[in-house]
Each structure stands twice: as C-alpha cells, then as structure tokens.
Amino acid sequence: MNKAIFLDRDGVLNEEMGDYVWTPERFRICPGVPESIARLKAAGYYLVVVTNQAGIAKGLYGQADVLACHDILQQACGNQIDALYFSANHPSVSESIFRKPDSGMLEKAVARFHLDPAQCWLVGDRARDMEAGARLGVRGILVGHAEPVAYEPRVADLRAATDLILNLE
C-alpha cells in the first residue's frame, strides 16, 4: 500500500481571492508551494489535488479554465503532482459524491494509486476538506485562519503542514 498527500487547491496551493479563481491572470501560487511539493514527493508521497470547482456548475467558467490553472500549477511544481481531481458540482445545481465534504475524489485516488488511507494526509483550508478526509480515515491538517472552527492540527500554510507531516514520519 502507498501513501499520499491530498491537497485542497484554493487557499492551500494558490491564493484564495474571496471568489472563484479560474483565470491564469488571477491564479497565484502561494509562497513555498513548489518547495513543499518537492519535499513531499522526495519523501515518497503521491500528491493528489482535490478541489471543488462549483463555478462550473454555476456557468461562471468551464473545465478548460480549471485545466489551464492546473497546468500553471504543474509547471510551477515541476510536474510532480500525480493527479488533479476537481468536482464541477454544486448542491444548488447537482448532487455528487465527488464534491467535498463527500470523499469521492479521495476514494478515486485510493483505488488508482493503491493507497492506505491511514498513511495519508489531507491538507485543506475548510472544514469540508477535513470532513472529506475523516470519512475515509485520512488525517487532516487545517491551513490558515479563514475557517472559524476549532480544529487541530492547524498551521499557517503548506510549508508548515509539510514540516509537520515530515516530522511525524
């Protein structure tokens, strides 16, 4: 069985802008992300992005826009991300087990990469991220202070989450 880091996108890998981020001009990678990705990859983790992209369901943008942003992320991170999954659903438009807090995107990666959820981590900035991981037995690390919930461990950013993960190995 293998291990992985599940990564939420907006607010963890790229800057949260307060609304939907889908244009390359607004897609800004957070400081330390490429280095953190490299450290986690060197430690033997599969790296899997799991992101809700409800703007697609709402008709604000399309899949091609999301893929263009993911190309920017991959290039900045040396193409070390193993999979980039996104849910194009929103409860007001359509239901899906792939939209966090459900665990469909994680389950897809577990099957694809033969992952042991007990050896995996999910790094996200929302309670729904933590819930998606918990449904599968994946440990979570909450990043930032945007979410008004009590959750531990909680760290400032992906750099700090990477330090925590690697120190606990």
Q: pLDDT (tens digit, 9 = 90+) per residue, 73-92?
A: 999 999 999 999 999 988 87
Give the Cα separation of 121 and 144 in Å (integer). Answer: 16
Taking a C-beta distance cutoff of 8 angstroms, is the pair 22, 59 a contact? no
Q: End-to-end distance of the chain based on CA atoms, in angstroms?
A: 16
Predicted confidence at residue 95, as pLDDT, reads 79
What per-residue confidence (pLDDT) applies to 162?
A: 98
pLDDT in tens, 133-145: 999 999 999 999 9
Mean pLDDT for the chain overall: 96
Q: What mean pLDDT is predicted for residues 10-36?
A: 94
Is there a catalytic annotation at residue 8?
yes
CATH code (residue 24): 3.40.50.1000
Number of domains in the chain: 1
SS3 assignment, position 45: coil
Decide: 55 and 61 in contact? Cβ < 8 Å: yes
Task: Look at residues 7, 101, 9 and name the one whose alpha carbon lies nearest to residue 48.
Answer: 7
Question: CB-based burial of residue 156 (10 Å sphere; 0-12 exposed, 13-18 middle, 19+ buried)?
Answer: exposed
The answer on pLDDT for 19 being more than 90 is no
State mean pLDDT over 30-52.
98
pLDDT band at 146 (very low <50, low <70, confident <90, very high): confident
pLDDT at 169: 87
For residue range 46-73, what is the model confidence (pLDDT) as tens digits?
Answer: 999 999 999 999 999 999 999 999 999 9
What is the structure's pLDDT at 83?
98
Catalytic residue among 10, 65, 102, 157: 10
* Structural domain harbouring 162: 4-168
- Candidate list 8, 102, 125, 157, residue with the active-site label: 8
| pLDDT at site 3 | 98
Asked if residue 94 has pLDDT above 80, the reply is no
